[in-house]
Structures are given as structure tokens and as C-alpha cells.
Amino acid sequence: MYNNKAVAQWVDEMAKLTKPDNIVWVDGSEEEKERLTEQALATGELIELNQEKLPGCYLHRTDVSDVARVEDRTFICTRNKDDAGPTNNWMDPAATYEKLSKLFDGSMKGRTMYVIPYIMGPVGSPFSKVGVELTDSIYVVLNMRIMTRMGKVAMDQLGDSSEFVKGLHSKGTLDPNERYICHFPEDNTIWSINSGYGGNVLLSKKCFALRIASFMGRQQGWMAEHMMIVGIEDPEGHVDYIAGAFPSACGKTNLAMLVPPEVFKKKGYKVWTVGDDIAWLRVGPDGRLWAVNPEAGFFGVAPGTNYKSNPNAMETVKKNTIFTNVVLTPEGTVWWEGMGEPPKSGIDWKGNPWTPESGEKGAHPNSRFTAPASQCPSISPEWENPQGVPLTAIIFGGRRARVAPLVYQSFDWNHGVYVGATMASETTAAAIGQVGVVRRDPMAMLPFCGYNMADYFAYWLEMGKRIPNPPKIFNVNWFRTDSEGNFIWPGFGENLRALLWIIDRCKGQGKAIETPIGYVPEEGAIDLEGLDISQDVMKELLNIDKDVWADEVNSQSEFLEKFGDRLPQEIRRQNEALKKRFGF
């Protein structure tokens, strides 16, 4: 069906290694989708849901040992260990190929190998890249169909080129002790074995779109970032686009699909979703930074998603969605914790009978939905624009109880890079008012950067020199708490108020005061119309406590030490300048 010599030769080589009974080249057609779905239903890999209530929707359960990304089994295999850096797990490429070849040897015996050509990015876009994933899992094929543009369209785009990312996946035996997700950035190659969970086996996602693409982007002059992209349309019809990086459990998808509060809706404000997870960025001919969402679907965390937190996600998953590790209800629909009223009984994510009184969670905390982005009610008319969208602002965010104010602006690009490089989230401890562990997660890329993070900071600084009209950089924190540990900002749709101040600042408006950490909104600068919140609470939300920041700055300095001599001097200089502004 396809006649690209480089792809054919590589498939042949991998088939000799894995020894499948059959090889199926995927074409992306509807007929193929129906055929594969029928096969997956016959083997029990998929369970059909109520087709009247959830048309085109199916349930999948993973092995109980295989429910999330495994960071300790994820490796960056560069020839030089220092190129992977202190925050990645490293293995020597030659030794890894040898070790994994033994695991892959005959791993597809008795199975079918599916060849999935796919595009990351809109068809025909200068941003886009082609990958080919080989897998023995129909679940992977059907998910990749949702998450990427796949099949014939990808081979047409590849043409005769040998420039494609090679991904090899086998479920193998699902042995957790022999589970490896290995990236070879210097070879554009990903090998994943002994997992069936999406984050480890949909190789287009974090593996290609972030780990391999971040390495590739640095070589080619663009950036691959763990960022949502959202468009804010004002009553005059002008749209500003914002990209935002947040560690997990900080509301990134909710922000990407934000619904404006009623008072702003009435005025004519609209919010458009371009992407919920990954952004590829490059400098446009106009000197601005342009962003594209390389994915075609959402692979979202189900628990906590409901009509209050994310109505657009709830509408998106009503059809053509694959649910993984959620509760199956007696009506043939799905449920998860935080969704709303639980069913009286059901089948839990392990396949066992379940009731709300069982004392165990019905859905796995990392249960998922895979849904086409095109179904999202707030999907942007520009989401498939081959040129991408121009960024007005970049925001970094985390979960901080006392440290970061609701929103602040960095002084300039280099200071913004420092803010991103030292961003963190806290785990809340059981004791009231106490805060648990601070986890630094630079640019929310700690588990996803395909090379040494110190070099990644240097590349951000270098990019600043290449962008004549850069977006301004901000930090947000929706998670400030009072002395009892209660959140004091309402969050969700109300976050639009902070975004509007951000856009004002980018236009040279929006009142702010200068503080040691950056520009913070002046009293009255955030539009609170229709929101019942006192000026005292707003003061607390924007307060910068010097004592709290003394600990924070020490913690930042400690974190940066782990990068040794490779840490850019400019990052050290920013750290010193911050101390000086506080008078530490």
C-alpha cells in the first residue's frame, strides 16, 4: 500500500526481531476502524458502552500493574550521559538496544503487528512531523486514531523522505520488572515494552511530542513545550492567544476549556481551546512566537472532571471516546470519582463488582478518556491552522499555598525563564494548614525534557534573543489558602479575570506595582464585577510575604545547584538579583 523505502526497510527489520504472525499497515479509514473495533470487542480488549447514551464509546481496562506513566522505567539514551542531565534516567544507547532486543525478540509471536504512520501537527503544516509506530495492541491503534492524524494522510505527507520518528511498542508479557520506555533522541527512536497503558504506549504523546521533539526542536530552532493553548476573544472580536505550562493536578485542561463567568459572557467574551497539553512553538515571519497543538485529541484524566470543573470536557466525551479504567454502570455508561452522584452499583476499574460503600475507589485515580479535539464545544476555529496562532503571553503556574500571588508578570524574558525554571507545586499534607513536599518542575517539563535541563534553560534564554516580539511571561497560582487551609480564590471560570489582566499588561495597560518578584496587579486592577470577594481577600491573594519568600529563594538556589557548571550564568545571575531585591 505504501512505497516509502526507509519505512518498509525499518518495518521489515523490526518484524524479523518481534516475529508477528501478521503485519497490517493502517490506512486510517472508517471501514478499518469498524473492523478493528469488532476485533477488540471479540477479544474483550474493549467493552461496548450504551450506544444510545454514548454513541461510538468504549471502555478499556489495563492490567492492574500498568495504570500510569512509569518515570523510574523511562530513560533518555544519549551517547554521553551528561547530555541526559541530572533530572533524567540515563542508559547507554548501545547497551539499551542490546538489552531490549532480547525482550522484543519474538514478543509479537501469535499476534499482529500494526504499522501506524501518523502526523504530529496539522496536515501540511510547516510545524508538522511524521512518526511511525509499530504495535501489537489494537487499543493503541484506536487511540492513535483519535490522538493523531494517521494512516494514508501521514504517508502522503512523508513522501519519499526518510525523516520520521521510529516507535516500536509491544505489550510483551506486561512484566512490570521488565517494563522500559526508552528514548534515543540522537536516532529519532522510541522503544516501549511490557506496558499497555496509554502514557507509555501512545508513542506520539509525551514520548515523541515532548521528549524527542524537545531535542529535535533545539537542533532545528523551535520549541516543544508541555503547554495548553487558549484563545481569549474580547467583545470586539479580537483574539489573544496564551500558552500555559502547569504540573499535573493544577487545572491545565480546565483552563484550556475555560467557560467565561456569566458577567463576561454577556459582554461578549469567548474562550477558545487550541490545545490542552502540548504546544510546538516557532518564530513567525512577523517576529512573534507562533504555537500549534501537535495532537488531534485529548488524553485527559477523568477523576475530578465534572460539569462544574470542566463542562466542555464533559460534552466532548459524550461520543467517539475510549474510556480507560473507569466504573461501568448497570446502564452501560461510565462514572468516576468527582463526576457527580455515584451509581448504586457498578463494575470497578479492575472488573470487580463495586458499590459506593465498597471503601475502594471505583475508577483508578489516573483513569482516562481519549476523545477527538474536534468534538470540544470550545474548539478554536484556528486549531488546525497550519501556521498556528500567535502568542500574546506565556504563563507558568503551580499549586502554592502561601508563596506565589494569584498572578504576577516577570520583568523581562530572561527573568520569565528564571520564573519557569524554578516553578514548583506543593502536595497538601493531612495536617491542617501544613504543607507537604515542594516538587520543582521547571516549565512543567521535568519528566518530559529529552536532554539536559540546564541546556534546556540555556535554549530558552537563546530563543529570547531570536524572537523580535516575544510574548510576555507571567506566573499564576489558583491555589492560595487561608490559615485553615481553604482555597481563597474560586478558580475555574473565574480564572478568566486574571487572564484579562495579563492581556491588558501585554497591551501596555493594566495597572501594576513593582515587587521583588515581578509586577503584581494594583488594587482594583483585576475586574471583580459579579464576584463576591472582599478587598481583604484580594490583598491576601496578591500579598508577597518576605519570610515565606526567604525559604522559597533558598529552596530555588538548592534546586539549581544540582545542575552544576552546566547551569547558564544568566540563571545564577537572576537568582542573585532576586535575593538582592528582597535584601536577603
Domain at 480, CATH number = 3.90.228.20
The answer to whether residues 481 and 402 touch, using CB atoms and an 8 Å cutoff, is: yes
Question: Kindly report the CA angle at 449 between 443 and 453, in degrees rounded to 5?
Answer: 75
pLDDT score recorded for residue 428: 52
Whether 260 maps to a domain, the answer reads yes
Cα 297 to Cα 284: distance, rounded to the nearest angstrom: 25
Percentage helix, strand, coil for the chain under 3-state DSSP, each rounded to 5: 35, 25, 40
DSSP-derived pairing of the beta strands 129-135 and 165-170: parallel
The reply to whether 145 sits in an annotated binding site is no
Question: Do 243 and 354 belong to one domain?
Answer: no
Cα 126 to Cα 145: distance, rounded to the nearest angstrom: 22
Catalytic residues: 250
The reply to whether 58 sits in an annotated binding site is no
Cα 38 to Cα 44: distance, rounded to the nearest angstrom: 10
CA distances 244 to 251, 280, 467, 527, Å, are 11, 12, 18, 21
Cα 30 to Cα 310: distance, rounded to the nearest angstrom: 30
Question: Do 114 and 169 belong to one domain?
Answer: yes
The reply to whether 197 sits in an annotated binding site is yes
The reply to whether 149 sits in an annotated binding site is no
Whether 54 maps to a domain, the answer reads no
Distance of CA 242 to the CA centre of its chain: 15
Distance of CA 127 to the CA centre of its chain: 18
pLDDT score recorded for residue 9: 97
Question: Do 107 and 192 belong to one domain?
Answer: yes
Instruction: For CA atoms 350, 352, 357, 363, give the dihedral sign.
Output: positive
The reply to whether 277 sits in an annotated binding site is yes
CB atoms within 10 A of CB 316: 28
β-sheet bridge partners, residue 184: 189
Cα 10 to Cα 207: distance, rounded to the nearest angstrom: 19
> How many domains is the chain built from?
3
CA distances 399 to 230, 435, 537, 540, Å, are 20, 11, 18, 16
Question: Do 440 and 570 belong to one domain?
Answer: yes
β-sheet bridge partners, residue 350: none
Question: Do 432 and 549 belong to one domain?
Answer: yes
Q: Torsion angle, CA of 84/86/89/92, rounded to 10 degrees?
A: 50
Whether 48 maps to a domain, the answer reads no
Q: Which three cell numbers stand for residue 140?
A: 493503541
CB atoms within 10 A of CB 513: 12
Distance of CA 561 to the CA centre of its chain: 27
Given 375, 407, 438, the domain boundary residue is 375
Q: Which three cell numbers stand for residue 341?
A: 452522584
pLDDT score recorded for residue 430: 37
DSSP 64: T
Domain CATH number, residue 194: 3.40.449.10
pLDDT digits (tens, 9 = 90+) for 530-539: 999 999 999 9
Question: Do 481 and 401 belong to one domain?
Answer: yes
Question: Do 78 and 121 belong to one domain?
Answer: yes
> 273, 266, 265: which is closest to 229 by C-alpha?
273
Task: Please list the ranges in the chain whose pLDDT falls under 50.
Answer: 429-433
Beta-carbon contacts of residue 558 (< 8 Å; ≥ 6 apart): none
Question: Do 177 and 264 belong to one domain?
Answer: no
pLDDT score recorded for residue 437: 84
pLDDT score recorded for residue 485: 87
Whether 422 maps to a domain, the answer reads yes
> 300, 278, 310, 277: which is closest to 367 by C-alpha?
300
pLDDT score recorded for residue 248: 81
pLDDT score recorded for residue 432: 41
Whether 33 maps to a domain, the answer reads yes
SS (H, E, C) 235-259: CCCCEEEEEEECCCCCCHHHHHCCC
Question: Do 74 and 182 belong to one domain?
Answer: yes
Whether 65 maps to a domain, the answer reads no
pLDDT score recorded for residue 7: 98
DSSP 429: P
Domain that holds residue 440: 225-296+382-582
The reply to whether 45 sits in an annotated binding site is no
Whether 58 maps to a domain, the answer reads no
Cα 130 to Cα 505: distance, rounded to the nearest angstrom: 38
Cα 144 to Cα 213: distance, rounded to the nearest angstrom: 18
pLDDT score recorded for residue 69: 87
β-sheet bridge partners, residue 518: 515
Question: Do 107 and 239 belong to one domain?
Answer: no
Residue with cell 481583604: 536
Given 355, 375, 395, the domain boundary residue is 375
pLDDT score recorded for residue 1: 58
The reply to whether 495 sits in an annotated binding site is yes
Beta-carbon contacts of residue 97 (< 8 Å; ≥ 6 apart): 184, 191
Question: Do 305 and 282 belong to one domain?
Answer: no
SS (H, E, C) 297-343: EEEEECCCCCCCCCHHHHHHCCCCCEEECCEECCCCCEECCCCCCCC
Domain CATH number, residue 368: 2.170.8.10
Question: Do 96 and 110 belong to one domain?
Answer: yes
The reply to whether 494 sits in an annotated binding site is yes
Whether 62 maps to a domain, the answer reads no
Given 375, 397, 425, the domain boundary residue is 375
Cα 191 to Cα 170: distance, rounded to the nearest angstrom: 9
The reply to whether 101 sits in an annotated binding site is no
DSSP-derived pairing of the beta strands 129-135 and 112-120: antiparallel
